[in-house]
Structure 1
Amino acid sequence: MKLIMVTGGARSGKSEFAEELALKEGGDNVLYIATSIPFDEEMKERIKRHKERRPPSWETKEAYKNLYEVISKSSAKVVLIDCLTVMITNFLMEVDLMWEKANIEEIDKIESQIAAEVEKILKAKKVFKGDIILVTNEVGMGLVPEYKLGRIFRDIAGRMNKKVAEAADEVYLMVSGIPLKIKG
């Protein structure tokens, strides 16, 4: 009953590594929670490739909210959530807000909603009988985004990643396809 975080940059092999861990620990009994919304052709192609790579026996649930309920009701050996930063993006995009003019109170309100969802995922670790593997992007090691929404996203993602890493039993950082165990 572990929480395992897999982080790294774009196209670093996070999902593939997390899927290998899930297969090793859960075999055919894995619940894959896909947090992405197929809003354009490029995203639809990414989702298609992810699905083709997974064993057909794995159950897939597409959701980015109320994950506590999904996880706590599951009888799978492993729950794989792919990914936290896409979940954060979905929360940000559902808000009707002029991001360049957003004030700190508006941003804090949205971040508190995201933090509450992350806390529920961490709470699910206490009731779920198997392992939870959570994939997320490390977005704080690059340039400072030029636009305010990019900075808001980077900062919220960084704080949520920190929250998950603190609670995780194991943390892996993917670098150019190589997993580096940095906790656990």
Structure 2
Amino acid sequence: MSGGSVRLLLGGVRAGKSGRAVALAEAQSDAALFFVATAQAFDDEMQQRIANHQAERSARWRTIEAPVSIVPAIDEALSAPHLFARRVVVIDCLTLWVSNLLLARADDELRDAEPYVAREVAALVTCMQHHADVQWVVVSNEVGLGIVPHTLLGRAYRDALGRANQLVAAAAGTVELMVAGIVLPLKGPSERH
């Protein structure tokens, strides 16, 4: 990974995206590591999932919990003094962030979900461009390959996440699809680990 880069890791559930994101960041031995966590622990099972992800990360990480207000949280963390000249930010994941954004809206606002999420993601892309010296690894699920959801919320979510993935992919220098732990390069150079 080079300085000031954006890498998007796409794939299905349990495809290896989060593990790859952490490994790519931890390979940067001379960098401060930031993990932007978007998950919320609403039940015991989700608490366990979060705990498992936390256990995968070394003590080098600073966790930024930002289930909805991601840009201000990142800006604040990156403006604080740190000991390293280089910084790596892992955002894990767009999937839950978009879900959180939609769940914070009223049912009658779901018809405008895609443009709303697109504006939020555009603000994130602007944040990444503003912090151009940072190495970014963004994790997201690819949910557009399945059946059409039968509910308005399901369709709004699928469409909004698809748009979010497109916007981040356009800003990324590297986009990879993870399938069964295997990296499939889609855009830009790829490092196989």
What TM-score comes out, normalization by structure 1 length? 0.88
Specify the SS of the correspondent of 2:21.
Answer: helix
Contact 1:67 1:120 in 2 (8 A): no
Contact 2:113 2:160 in 1 (8 A): no
Bigger shift: residues 44-53 or 120-129: 120-129
Q: How many Å apart are 1:108 and its aligned residue?
A: 4.5
Give the corresponding residue for 1:85: 95
Aligned partner (choices 163, 169, 180) of residue 165 of structure 1:
169
Contact 2:35 2:92 in 1 (8 A): yes
Bigger shift: residues 160-169 or 65-74: 65-74
Distance in 2, Cα, partners of 1:30 & 1:55:
10
Give the corresponding residue for 1:135: 139
Q: How many Å apart are 1:27 and its aligned residue?
A: 5.4
Report the CA distance shift for 1:96/1:107 in structure 2 as closer, same or farther (over 3 A): closer
Aligned partner (choices 68, 71, 74) of residue 74 of structure 2:
71
Aligned residue identity for 1:131: Q
RMSD: 1.7
Give the corresponding residue for 1:148: 152
Distance in 2, Cα, partners of 1:124 & 1:180:
27
Q: How many Å apart are 1:26 and its aligned residue?
A: 5.6
Q: How many Å apart are 1:181 and its aligned residue?
A: 1.4
Q: Which runs of 5+ in 1 are unaligned?
A: none
Give the corresponding residue for 1:183: 187
Report the CA distance shift for 1:48/1:27 in structure 2 as closer, same or farther (over 3 A): farther
Contact 1:2 1:125 in 2 (8 A): no
Give the corresponding residue for 1:8: 11
Distance in 1, Cα, partners of 2:110 & 2:151:
14
Q: Which runs of 5+ in 2 are unaligned?
A: 189-193
Contact 1:72 1:127 in 2 (8 A): no
Distance in 1, Cα, partners of 2:111 & 2:28:
37
Give the corresponding residue for 2:106: 96
Contact 2:11 2:179 in 1 (8 A): yes
Report sequence identity in percent: 38
Aligned residue identity for 1:2: S
Aligned partner (choices 113, 118, 125) of residue 122 of structure 1:
125
Distance in 2, Cα, partners of 1:169 & 1:65:
25
Contact 2:34 2:64 in 1 (8 A): yes
Contact 1:172 1:179 in 2 (8 A): yes
Equivalent residues, number: 177
Distance in 1, Cα, partners of 2:98 & 2:88:
22
Distance in 2, Cα, partners of 1:28 & 1:130:
10
